[in-house]
Amino acid sequence: MRVVDHPSFKNFGLDETLQALKDAPIGEAIFRPSSKGLDFLTLSYKGLPDLIVHVAILEKDKPHAAALGRRLE
């Protein structure tokens, strides 16, 4: 579980994310913890009616392990 104060961030796994975006409008996005580790987030968004895209985002300049990085790449 990550503590991120942002309305688009959810502590969801892949299955929960797919379910949440299934009936969402195109362009809807969820930021969530990444399975790559604590230095990553995943952006999942609905690109087309049957396409959900997942993008790994590297967090840099983290003040501590549980914090959100100051730079996202």
Helix H or strand E encompassing 21: helix 14-22
Tell me the per-residue pLDDT of 13-53, one tens digit each, with 9 for 90 and over.
Answer: 999 999 999 999 999 999 999 999 989 999 999 999 999 99
Q: Closest Cα to residue 18, out of 37, 39, 47, 44?
A: 44
- The residue length of the chain stands at 73
Helix H or strand E encompassing 60: strand 51-60
pLDDT band at 55 (very low <50, low <70, confident <90, very high): very high
Query: Which residues are registered as beta bridge partners of 39?
Result: none
Distances in whole angstroms, Cα of residue 67 to Cα of each of 1, 2, 33, 61 = 12, 8, 12, 10
pLDDT band at 6 (very low <50, low <70, confident <90, very high): confident
